[in-house]
Amino acid sequence: MNPSVLNSKLSALSCQLKALGSQLSAMSRLSVAAAVLAISIPAAAQPPAQAQPPGALDPLVLPAPAAGTLVAITNANIMTASHGNVMNGTILIRNGKIAEVGTNVQVPPGAKVIDGRGKWITPGIIDAHSHTANEGINEGSQSITAEVRMHDVLRQDGISLYRQLAGGTTMVNILHGSANTIGGQNAVAKLKFGLEVDSLRFDAAPPGIKFALGENVRQTSRPEPTRYPRSRMGVEDVLRDAFTKAKEYQREWTEYNKVKAAFDKGPKRAGAMAPVPPKKDLELDALVEILDGKRLVHCHSYRADEILMMLRVAKDFGFKIASFQHVLEGYKVADELAAAGAGASTFADMWGYKMEAWDAIPHNASLMAERGVVVTINSDSDERARRLYQEAAKAIRFGGASEESALRMITLNAAIQLGVDKRVGSIDVGKDADLAIFNGHPFAPASRVEMTLIEGRVFFDRNTAPTLEWLIQQMKNRPRVTSDAEGR
């Protein structure tokens, strides 16, 4: 090609890129990121790009959604996750709560009506294992860090929250990482994107904590040992030593409280001094809460032998495991998990990515559920959290799970594991109106979320969201920029 012609074409391309850069810089970081990546769906399932309808959302602004004071979703197929499906039914929402569900619900005057014709509604999806919306995952400097809290590093501006809303996810269990035998305290959050950070916290959830077993704790990927433990027997020793100390700490405080109560009630003699309390230890405080049944344990695990070890330790010290996380060999010890009342939160079909994940199978979730274990399918990933409904469908494909059993693995069962099933997890009267509205059956490959509500408030609406289709249309409609007046 002639150099002068090539230079002319490069100059024209440079002008076009500058113009495109100006357009994109005018959009907020939120709108650009959400527009490019918000939608959790294969490209083949996307409809032709459409211009945004009149009154669509200005991509520069995501206003706080209106309160769900009185909302009716009509003529929809409702998957309750607790008592079957209600076809062509209506959900009435009052003050953020589900007030009525059924086929004969009367829509009161003044209600905001969402037409659900042809749509399918599920409870808001709950991700039982997430690391989203925070700046710190692991405090890995020592093997026990029970005092650190995920609540302290929450961020409300993480764009991944909006992307997950686009996949129907409304609640997440934000866990500390798996670098520690006993890690930090979890944070259960609702994805109220656009509101202040404290609005994310779901304080009705019992406090929890992350434990971990196996390769991550032993730091086997590091060439030189940096801390104890380095073996599986060392992991068990760390657990037993920690809870032995916690029991002694608990005894000291119990004795102190008795003496202090007697002192407060008794006559005050001249010169009498109040008893001195034991030294405060934030790390041991968290472990005592576990012993008292006030803090739930969520334990990272893979191999059957280490799962059984953790169950023995818990039994010996008198506490329960709320959920084993990953638990890829759970199908080998499903009866033991069920007998101990331990939940299991696993991947749909992830295996072979390290040695202790070698024996994983895609039938794991269904096999454990058949044996009576409360099973969830989680993401452990901001990306997978956008399509957990597709992950749950794999339990039907591989394990033969029923439709409702698969749905519960991403809704009601997750609420049970987090101790919040009286508030969320199913479409029942009195529960929070956390809902995902799909354009088709949620387990159909081409279906996607059209709208996501939290407590009756619409936090994601595909009709007004800065989606990928919207951005493509904007690019198509942008003015052409050429290098000279002749358009060369």
Q: What is the pLDDT of residues 227-282, one digit of tens each?
A: 899 999 999 999 999 999 999 999 999 999 999 999 989 887 777 889 999 999 99
Residue type, 125: I
Beta bridge partners of 437: 121, 451
Distances (CA, A) of 380 to 103, 130, 174, 191, 209: 37, 5, 9, 16, 16
Torsion angle in degrees (nearest 10) through CA of 149, 153, 154, 158: -140
Burial 174-194 (b: 16+ CB within 10 A, else e): bbbbbbbbbbbbbbbbbbbbb
Give the tens place of pLDDT for each residue, 106-120.
Answer: 999 999 999 999 999
- DSSP secondary structure code for residue 154 in this structure: B
Report the mean per-residue pLDDT for the chain.
Answer: 88
Q: What is the mean pLDDT of residues 350-373?
A: 95
Q: What is the mean pLDDT of residues 90-97?
A: 97
Locate 270 and state its tokens. 């001249």
Task: For the chain, give the percent of residues with pLDDT over 90.
Answer: 73
Length of the chain measured in residues: 488
What is the reported pLDDT for 444?
97
Is the pLDDT reported for residue 223 higher than 90? no
What is the reported pLDDT for 2?
56
> Could you check whether the bond before residue 229 is cis, i.e. omega within 30 degrees of 0?
yes
Who has greater pLDDT, 164 or 37?
A: 164
Check if the beta carbon of residue 176 is closer than 8 Å to that of residue 139.
Answer: yes
Check if the beta carbon of residue 463 is closer than 8 Å to that of residue 39.
Answer: no
Locate 407 and state its tokens. 């749905």
What is the reported pLDDT for 408?
98
Of the pLDDT bands very low, low, confident and very high (cuts 50, 70, 90), residue 222 is confident
The CA-based angle 58-61-62, given to 5 degrees, is: 105
pTM of the predicted protein model: 0.85
Give the tens place of pLDDT for each residue, 307-354.
Answer: 999 999 999 999 999 999 999 999 999 999 999 999 999 999 998 999
The residue among 136, 148, 138, 140 whose CA lies nearest residue 209 is: 148
Burial 449-479 (b: 16+ CB within 10 A, else e): bbbbbbbbbbbbbbebbbbbbbbbbbeeeee
Give the tens place of pLDDT for each residue, 267-281.
Answer: 877 778 899 999 999
Check if the beta carbon of residue 391 is closer than 8 Å to that of residue 171.
Answer: no
Which domains are delineated in the chain?
3-59+466-477 (no CATH), 67-122+427-447 (2.30.40.10), 125-269+279-424 (3.20.20.140)
Which residue in the block uniquely carries the two structure tokens 């998990």? Answer: 337
Distance separating alpha carbons of residues 440 and 176, to the nearest angstrom:
35
Is the pLDDT reported for residue 158 higher than 50? yes
**Pairing mode, strands 97-102 and 85-94:** antiparallel
Check if the beta carbon of residue 418 is closer than 8 Å to that of residue 296.
Answer: yes
- DSSP 3-state percent helix, strand, coil across the chain (nearest 5): 35, 20, 45
Is the pLDDT reported for residue 24 higher than 50? no
Distance separating alpha carbons of residues 194 and 63, to the nearest angstrom:
7
What is the reported pLDDT for 47?
47
Residue type, 223: P
Locate 316 and state its tokens. 């010996």
CB-facing half-sphere around the CA of 224: CA atoms within 13 A: 1
Give the tens place of pLDDT for each residue, 46-68.
Answer: 444 444 444 344 444 567 788 88
Q: How far is CA 283 from the centre of its chain?
A: 25
Q: How far is CA 268 from the centre of its chain?
A: 54
Locate 445 and state its tokens. 């490959």
Distance separating alpha carbons of residues 62 and 136, to the nearest angstrom:
26
Give the tens place of pLDDT for each residue, 395-410.
Answer: 999 999 999 999 999 9
Q: At what angle do helices 232-265 and 304-317 cross, to 10 degrees?
A: 20
Residue type, 187: A
List Cβ neighbours of 430 (8 Å cut-off, separation of 6 or more).
Answer: 97, 98
Check if the beta carbon of residue 374 is closer than 8 Å to that of residue 340.
Answer: no
The residue among 185, 186, 292 whose CA lies nearest residue 249 is: 292
